[in-house]
Amino acid sequence: MSQATPPPSSLPLGAHVDQEDPIAQAAQRGADLVQIFLGDPQSYKGPVVRFEGGADALKAAAESAGVALYVHAPYPINVASTNNRIRIPGRKLLQQHLTAAAQIGAKGVVVHGGHLGKTDDAAKGFDNWRKCIDGLDMPVPLLIENTAGGDNAMARRLEAIARLWDAIGAVAGGDTVGFCLDTCHAHAGGNDLGTVVEKVRAITGRIDLVHANDSRDTFDSGADRHTNLGAGHIDPGDLADVVRAAGAPVVVETPGGEQAQAADLAWLRERL
């Protein structure tokens, strides 16, 4: 599924914010959209809507404010794993977040591609992803995010992303799976930002969301450490070019809270 690239001036820009009142936080940042966790991002416990009034109230507030919502799935999810105690609870938790995201009217759920141990057969991880997609009910799109580290990662390097897309494209529901491109992860994962949009789109046919983050670490370091735009090791022109070329909604996942993220969004708008 290919996507037309909108003019840069029309790109919705937003930030990852606290989940208690994301609509107020969007207004504070001048954001068109926000990304939130539902519950504890480090836990296997199910999703919790902490907005006062619950899911229906959050959906209504977002619609009234014209703010799009995205959900980031918890970090422990690794549906590629060969360990049943990791893979099976992860699948269950992912399904719960997809269902909860639909209840709040979210545009999609972002999840990391996961990884295997160094001695594991990568083919098993890709097949585990196939099985996962085959068993999921997806009332909203699932957006798989590229990751920064791991020698046996399912979505760090382009070759792995291609194998992952071959696997999930073989099952019903594969066309509901989208891609989230993280600039920090791409840089730290050893992917040239000058060509990554073109190459990812050649593999997946789509880029649904961009995580626009600078990197505290050098190219191909494997380190997932975000910093504010223009303050890290990514060339500012390259970062802006990725956002422009991807033509997808943008989330900054940068530190510093309201003021720093508002400055990052202004940084992007100035360059787009």
Q: Give the strand pairing for 226-227 and 214-215.
A: antiparallel
Q: Cα dist. 216→13, 153, 221, 271 in Å?
A: 22, 21, 10, 21
* 257-271 and 22-29 helices, crossing angle to 10°: 50
What's the sign of the alpha-carbon dihedral 247, 36, 232, 271? positive
- Cβ atoms of 244 and 8 within 8 Å: the answer is yes
Residues ≥6 apart with Cβ < 8 Å to 123: none
pLDDT for res 8: 46
pLDDT in tens, the chain (272 residues): 445 554 445 799 999 999 999 999 999 999 999 999 999 999 999 999 999 999 999 999 999 999 999 999 999 999 999 999 999 999 999 999 999 999 999 999 999 999 999 999 999 999 999 999 999 999 999 999 999 999 899 999 999 999 999 999 999 888 899 999 999 999 999 999 999 999 999 999 999 999 999 999 999 999 999 999 999 999 999 999 999 999 999 999 999 999 999 999 999 999 99
pLDDT for res 7: 47
pLDDT for res 33: 98
**Percent helix / strand / coil, the chain, rounded to 5:** 40, 15, 45
Alpha helix stretches (DSSP H) within 47-83: 54-65
Q: Read off the pLDDT of residues 205-260 as tens digits, 9 standing for 90 and up.
A: 999 999 999 999 999 999 999 999 999 999 999 999 999 999 999 999 999 999 99
pLDDT for res 10: 79
Q: How many CA atoms lie within 13 A of 111 on its CB side?
A: 30
Query: Closest by alpha carbon to 202, among 168, 161, 237, 253?
Result: 161
Domains and CATH numbers, the chain: 16-249+263-271 (3.20.20.150)
- Cβ atoms of 69 and 62 within 8 Å: the answer is yes
Residues ≥6 apart with Cβ < 8 Å to 115: 78, 80, 125, 147, 150, 152, 153, 154, 156
Query: Closest by alpha carbon to 158, among 201, 124, 214, 206?
Result: 201
- For the entire predicted model, the pTM comes to 0.95
pLDDT for res 212: 98
pLDDT for res 175: 87
Phi, psi at 225, each rounded to 5°: -135, 110
